[in-house]
Structure 1
Amino acid sequence: MKRLLLILCMAVCSLQYASAQYDFIRPVKDSIPGGYNFWVYTPLDYYYSLESTPVIIFLHGQSLCGNNLERVRRYGPLDAIVKGRQIEALVIVPQNPGGSWNPKKINDVLEWTKKNYAMDSTRVYVIGMSLGGYGTLDFVGTYPDKVAAAMALCGGCTLKDKSGLGKVPLWIIHGTADRAVPVKQSQVVVDELQNTGNDTRLRFDWLKGASHGALARILYMNKTYEWLFSHSLLDEGRPVNKDIDIDKSDLSKAYQDMISGAPDPEVVYDKTIY
């Protein structure tokens, strides 16, 4: 009986936590002329931290493009939050209506956030997957002085001048079994940064045998956000954190410490994530 009551209590707490998280996720539509619509998540203790609150911008893949803002909650940080991952940051999730991510429009979202929310502008982080991985590198390379650290998953970069990427602590991760965006797309970026001496703040990992969709699990890992939060624009020399590792074995453990348990693996491994 005690065991049953404990299970019921945990279930109720999980539902209450998820409900509370929903209350702090706000859609922002048509606030930037010609710009992106987006979600803003405010952490539960936001009004106690305000100006010390970091910001995470998440850029989704092509499968979530469109004009239905609900689509962008299908995977990524907002989905992780609802499923129990505690992320102590303002989480900004724009929706790309189609085509490549536009660095200026991403910056417009960031500047709107600065005007409308108290935040720590020295701790702005960007993470993106697939098309969003391209968007992450394109944005960081264009506005390196605004980003404290960035993580690009299974993407690439369209910038002709990639030197800006060398100014930001950057972690590029790609699976070797990726059929949607070949690992070569990330390797080309790494090679260019190395050949031009812009790799002093660069980390990269090629996860052997990992598919394209498998890397979505990284968005649910606590250590992903620990790594991002360990950087600031105020860090002397802006070194990249090399003390936190992510390898293929971590993918299967991505949900273990989440309050409400693991999401449906079919959602995360859906082949339409790109």
Structure 2
Amino acid sequence: MKRCVLVCLLALSVLCNYAQYDLVSAKKNVIPGGYNFWLYTPEDYYYSQESTPLLVFLHGASLCGRNMDRVLRYGTIDAIKRGLDVPALVVAPQNPGGAWSPRKLNDILEWLDANDYTYDHQRVYVIGMSLGGYGTMDFVGTYPDKIAAGMALCGGCSLKDQTKLGEVPLWIIHGTGDRAVSVKESQKVVDGLKRNRLTQRLRYDWIRGASHGALSRYFYSQKTYEWLFSHRLNDVGRPVERSIDITQGDLQEAYRKMQKRVDQLEFE
């Protein structure tokens, strides 16, 4: 009888610990003066915490404000809700307005550490679009010792000293038909890294004729996350992965599959 009670208590303890990891939960006002954020925990997180990567998604200016539901309109968590498998803790902060603050983003990492969210510190990644593309490069360039890899879509960089971007595997992507943020903003970053001979960890693509919004499809491609997760902070020399390509065909097919999955769910 005692053995049975002990087993039941142990099982209850496990379930209670697991319950703190809601799949998608809103973290509001948990960091004084900091960002509110969504936190996604994968289903098997409780059993694989120490090997779980952490991904930070940074939205564009259109999602700024105080209504956190706006952050779910596109991006990594939206892709997960549509059926994409992203085996990582995903942080999706909301910027109330203005430029992304690298310090406030780092505050989120420190909050996770202080609140027993265990993850692989060698595998922290950031991806962002538009204003989030600026935030991605600013975050990478400020904390190159914390970020394993970054992908910056149709953005730029506001850091005065951009040389530390060369320390991190970084993929910069911009459409030449972008009327919201000119491709020149990304090109300036690439040109600066070239002048300083810091391109050994850099990838960049100028997508011919692509508009600003077209690059949002990268969030819905499995290859995007395969590329990011292929890097680790402790990789010798921290080389950039160049064998994984993401074609326009890949993006179109990925988004089509995501939309098909949503259509199926509506009728189930």
Is the pair's TM-score, using the shorter chain for normalization, greater than 0.5? yes
Kindly provide the amino acid, as one letter, of the partner of residue 229 in structure 1.
F
Query: Structure 1 residue 262: deviation in Å?
Result: 5.8
Q: Secondary structure at the match of 2:121?
A: coil
What does residue 40 of structure 2 align with?
Answer: 41
Q: Does 1:56 align with 2:55?
A: yes
Deviations 1:200-247, CA, capped at 9 Å, x for gaps: 100000111111101000001000000000000111100000011123
Kindly provide the amino acid, as one letter, of the partner of residue 41 in structure 2.
T
Q: State how far apart, in whole Å, the 2-side matches of 1:165 and 1:185 are.
A: 15
Q: Is the 8 A contact 1:84 1:260 kept in 2?
A: no
What does residue 194 of structure 1 align with?
Answer: 194
Q: Which has the larger radius of gyration?
A: 2
Q: CA RMSD in A?
A: 1.5
Give matches, 1:1-274, under 5 Å. Answer: 24-116=23-115, 117-258=117-258, 261=261
Kindly provide the amino acid, as one letter, of the partner of residue 149 in structure 2.
A
Q: Is the 8 A contact 1:59 1:128 kept in 2?
A: yes
Unmatched tracts of structure 1, length 5 or more: 1-22, 264-274
Q: Identify if the C-alpha distance between structure 1 residues 249 and 209 changes in structure 2 by more than 3 Å, giving closer, same or farther.
A: farther
Q: Secondary structure at the match of 1:78?
A: helix
Q: Secondary structure at the match of 1:145?
A: coil
Q: Secondary structure at the match of 1:108?
A: helix
Structure-2-length-normalised TM-score: 0.87
Q: Is the 8 A contact 1:27 1:38 kept in 2?
A: yes
Q: Is the 8 A contact 2:23 2:42 kept in 1?
A: yes
Query: Structure 1 residue 136: deviation in Å?
Result: 0.4
Q: State how far apart, in whole Å, the 2-side matches of 1:144 and 1:197 are.
A: 17
Unmatched tracts of structure 2, length 5 or more: 1-21, 264-268
Q: State how far apart, in whole Å, the 2-side matches of 1:81 and 1:123 are.
A: 19
Kindly provide the amino acid, as one letter, of the partner of residue 90 in structure 2.
V
Q: State how far apart, in whole Å, the 1-side matches of 2:259 and 2:234 are.
A: 33
Q: Secondary structure at the match of 1:26?
A: strand
Q: Identify if the C-alpha distance between structure 1 residues 154 and 171 changes in structure 2 by more than 3 Å, giving closer, same or farther.
A: same
Q: State how far apart, in whole Å, the 2-side matches of 1:66 and 1:97 are.
A: 4
Q: State how far apart, in whole Å, the 2-side matches of 1:75 and 1:257 are.
A: 15
What does residue 271 of structure 1 align with?
Answer: none
Deviations 1:78-100, CA, capped at 9 Å, x for gaps: 10011101100000000000000
State percent identity of aligned pairs: 64
Tell me: higher relative CO, structure 1 or 2? Use CA pairs within 8 A at least 6 residues apart: 1
| Number of aligned residues | 242
